[in-house]
Each structure stands twice: as C-alpha cells, then as structure tokens.
Amino acid sequence: MGSAFAQALQLIVTGDPMLLQIIGVTLRMSLTSSATALVLGAPWGAFLAFGSSKVKSVLIVVNRTLMGLPPVVCGLLCYLMFCGVGPLRFLHLLYTVEGMIVAQVILVTPIVAGTIEAYARPLVAPVRETGVGLGMSRPRILRLMIQECRYQVFTSYLLALGRALAEVGAVSMVGGAIAYKTNVMTTAIMMYTNRGDFKMAIALGIILVGLFFLLNILAHVLQPKVVA
Amino acid sequence: MRIRNLIVRYGATTALDIGELTLKRGVCYAVIGANGCGKSTLARCIAGVIKPTSGEVGLQPDDKVRYMPQRSYAFYGSTLSNVMLGVNATAHGKERARMLIDALNLTTVARQGAKQLSGGQTARMALARTLVGQGTWLVLDEPTAALDSGSMLAAEGLIRSYRDEFDAGVILITHSLKQAKRVSDQLVFMENGHVVEQGETKRLIDDPQTPALTRFLELFGA
Ligand SMILES: Nc1ncnc2c1ncn2[C@@H]1O[C@H](COP(=O)(O)OP(=O)(O)OP(=O)(O)O)[C@@H](O)[C@H]1O
Ligand SMILES: [Mg+2]
C-alpha cells in the first residue's frame, strides 16, 4: 500500500501522460459545464428571486428538487435521450464529452439558480426600497442588486464547478468512461480501482482533493472582508 | 401633496385607510402613533415603494421624494461611497456629502466598509445618503431611533435646514413627542391605519381634540 502511494506521487511529479490526459478531459468538461450553468442559472435564479406568485412558488420548489437530483438519474435521463432509440439520437452525444457536458449542465444549473435565489430574495425588498427612496432608476437598482450578490454568484459558480468535478453517476452513464476520450478523474478512479491499479487511482484522488483545496482557498481569499 | 382615499390592504388586514390628507411644502410634519398603526406603510406609499390597493398620492410633476426607510441598508463599499449613492458625483454633490458626513460625525469611518458600521452609524450614514440629494419632499421613517442624543440633535438640525434650503415638505415619523415638539410644525396622529387628528404641533399636544390622542398623550405623560 505504501509503495502504491509512493508510485502515485511519482506519477504526479513526472507528469504521467495518461494522468495528464484524464485531467485535461476533466477540466475541459467541468469548466465548460459549470460556466454554461452559470450563464443559464444566474438569470434564472434572479428571475426566481424577484416577486412572488403561485407559479413562481411552484418553480422554486421544482428547482429545489432538481438541486438534489441524483446524478445517476440525470445520467439515465440523458442516456435515454441520446441512445440509439432515443429522441435526441441524431445529436450523436452518447459517449462524447459534449454529451457529458449537457448532462452536467442539467445537473448543476439548478444549483447555481437555487443558491442565488436563496441569497438574493431577502435583499430584494431592502435594496429596492433604499434605491427608490434615493430616486434611482430601475436599471440602476438592478445593477446595485447584482453588485450586492456578486460574491454569491461567484461562490455558486464554485459550488457548480465542485459538483461537476466530483460527480460520477451522470458522466459514467453518458460518457461511458472510454479511455483517451471520455474518461474523467472520477470514472478513472473507479476503473483503476476495479482493476487493482491503485497508483493511478491514488494519484487522481490526490489531485482531485488538491483541486478542491485550491477552489476553497480561492473562495476564501476573494471573500469580501465583511461580517454581513 | 394631496392624499385621497388611500387604502393599503395585506390580505384581510387593512394597514392604511386615509380619506383625505393634504400636506404642504416648507412644512415639517411629525407623524406619530402606536406600533403597527400604518406610519411606515404611509411613508412607503408616498415614496412610491408600494402601490396602494386603491387611491393615490397626488404629487406635482416636478416633485421629487427622498425617503429613508425604517431599516437602513448598507451596500458594499465605504461609508463615503454609500453616501455618494444618493447624489451625482459633481463638485457640489461631493461637497454636500462631505458636509453631511462631518455634521453627522462619520468622518472617522468615512473610508471604512459600510457593512461594518454600528447600528447608529448605519442610520447616520443612511440619513446622510438621503439628505445629500435635493428633493421637494423628505420622508424619514424614525431616522433617529438608533441615535445617541448628540447625533439626534445634529440630525434634527440638518432636517430643519433641508426644509428651509429646498422649501421641502418634511414627513418625520417618530416615537418621540419631544422630538416632534422640537422639529415639527404640524402633528399627524395615526391610529389603526387612519389619520385621526392633524394640527399645529404645540396646540395639539396641549389641547388634543380626540379621546384617542388624549389617551396616547397621557401614556407619554405629556
Ligand atoms: N409587507 C407586509 N405584509 C403584511 N402585512 C404588513 C406588511 N407591511 C406592513 N404590514 C402590516 O401593516 C400594519 C402597519 O404596519 P407599519 O409598518 O406601517 O406600522 P408602523 O406604524 O410603521 O409601526 P412601527 O411603529 O412599529 O414602525 C401592521 O399591522 C403590519 O403588520
Ligand atoms: Mg414603522
């Protein structure tokens, strides 16, 4: 076991090509899916945060449900859509990185929207009241509102990225963990462990945890110096 | 400003029901009444923050309302940048902001993050932010509730100057009868969403016309 750990460190230090290839695919996938989720989820979250109506309450509950959607269920759904008899088979997304990105966007967009909605909702009334009281225009008030939420938008992006990096159910079902093509860090850890090739699995595990550590350092450093 | 048949309902409760209320510019009105009688709701209607269920607040086309909510909100950024949100960044605007920051004793915290201010400092920042811009109506919802006595007197002086400088109508919501006496020309007494009595401050306090106001004043020991 100790030697597997040492070999894992050696893989990392020497920059093993297979290791780098897997990390590359993982980053391409998770950065794209989380960025897309941010672009779609932030306006959606803002829409959910403003005002209240029956329809909106329903949408918020639906969104909260989707936030907890098990990745394998999302993977199953996408599989059924993309597979040989699925309605979206003409897109040829099964066993491709693009297909994995689509599945992850479905998985993490509600997380971005939901966290932004929860943070922004209680700010809407006081920010609006203060802005109107100072004679501000609606676009100016909206701009202030976005400014008040910008750190939250950033952390919700990191949350989405973290989930996209760590999630294994959706990517393994849609991507199929094909070596040199759709194998990402999480699916590779499973694959190498099943094979008994622990050094690669451990190396990937170390890097994955290291990435999370980096993300959290970033979040901490950029945190506004305020006890809000 | 003419308020007519102004009604605000929240579900089954009627927060505000004012048949007729006429307010003039250049006059300071103190609005008094028990918790939940509808003072803030009236202020929000005048400021245009909420739409009344029915009725209207009749303003002139050139009227500009400046309104300070009961709960002050600090935006990200310094105290100074928060105050500057209330005015255009012209030389005159900056000068006014500096004057108000000094007068409200915020000079030492001007460059500090506004979200770190104490409760009273936040209220002073919000008052400065409201007073820094020009308006024809000034609506202040308990602006000095969190202030120490020194800051309170400074604030009252600034409110009176605002009225004189811009010939503004001032609507000052307060729970302090002493403050009403010091600052206001007219008293507006509210109960259960209604304006029960209105008149010259000193006369009304000495000689209330309704049993409701008599009872209210007795509670103050006035
Ligand atoms: N957004 C709201 N939703 C439901 N009810 C509300 C809302 N805002 C105010 N009310 C109700 O309307 C009534 C009047 O409230 P308002 O805030 O105007 O009182 P107030 O006179 O300002 O009281 P205070 O002296 O405590 O500030 C209260 O009964 C309150 O519960
Ligand atoms: Mg109130």
pLDDT, residue A1, reads 65
Is A54 a member of any domain?
Answer: yes
- Whether the pLDDT of residue A3 is over 60: the answer is yes
Considering the domain architecture, whether residues B129 and B179 belong to the same structural domain is answered as no
Considering the domain architecture, whether residues B111 and B140 belong to the same structural domain is answered as no
Share of chain B above pLDDT 90, in %: 97
Task: Determine the angle formed by the axes of helices B119-131 and B91-103, rounding to 10 degrees.
Answer: 150
Which atom of ligand 1 is found nearest the CA of B33? 21
In chain A, the number of structural domains is 1
- Whether the pLDDT of residue A26 is over 50: the answer is yes
Considering the domain architecture, whether residues B78 and B37 belong to the same structural domain is answered as no
* CB under 5 Å of ion ligand 2: residues: B 39-40, 70
pLDDT tens for B135-164 read 999 999 999 999 999 999 999 999 999 999
pLDDT tens for A136-182 read 999 999 999 999 999 999 999 999 999 999 999 999 999 999 999 99
pLDDT, residue A228, reads 45
- Whether the pLDDT of residue A226 is over 70: the answer is no
pLDDT tens for B2-20 read 999 999 999 999 999 999 9
Considering the domain architecture, whether residues B145 and B58 belong to the same structural domain is answered as yes
Mean pLDDT in residue range A120-126: 96
pLDDT, residue B160, reads 97
pLDDT tens for B102-122 read 999 999 999 999 999 999 999
pLDDT tens for A185-221 read 999 999 999 999 999 999 999 999 999 999 999 999 9
Is A227 a member of any domain?
Answer: no
**What residues of chain B lie within 8 A of the CB of A145, using their CB?**
none
Give B147's Cβ-side CA count (13 Å radius). 26
Mean pLDDT in residue range A33-61: 95
pLDDT, residue A223, reads 86
Separation CA B40–CA B71 (nearest Å): 10
Specify the residue with its C-alpha closest to ligand 1, atom 31.
Answer: B36
State the Rg of chain A over Cα: 21
Is A92 a member of any domain?
Answer: yes
* Cross-chain residue pair A129–B44, CB shorter than 8 Å: yes
State the Rg of chain B over Cα: 17
What is the span of the domain harbouring residue A133? Answer: 2-222
Q: Which two tokens stand for residue A154?
A: 């950033």
- Whether the pLDDT of residue B220 is over 80: the answer is no
Q: Which two tokens stand for residue B84?
A: 């500057």
The helix (H) or strand (E) run that includes residue B19 is: strand B13-22
Considering the domain architecture, whether residues B166 and B197 belong to the same structural domain is answered as yes
Residue A84 sits in a domain of what CATH number?
1.10.3720.10
Which of B10, B70, B141, B144 to mutate to test ligand 1, by most ligand atoms within 8 A of the CB atom? Answer: B10
Q: B93 touching A, CB under 8 A?
A: no
Is A228 a member of any domain?
Answer: no
Contacts of B84 (CB under 8 A, 6+ apart): B93, B94, B97, B132
Share of chain A above pLDDT 90, in %: 95
Mean pLDDT in residue range A46-50: 94
The pTM for the full model equals 0.88
Give residue A108's identity as a one-letter amino acid code.
Answer: V
Mean pLDDT in residue range B34-39: 97
- Whether the pLDDT of residue A227 is over 90: the answer is no
Mean pLDDT in residue range B88-112: 96
Considering the domain architecture, whether residues B140 and B207 belong to the same structural domain is answered as yes
What is the span of the domain harbouring residue B101? Answer: 73-133
pLDDT band at B222 (very low <50, low <70, confident <90, very high): low
In chain B, the number of structural domains is 2
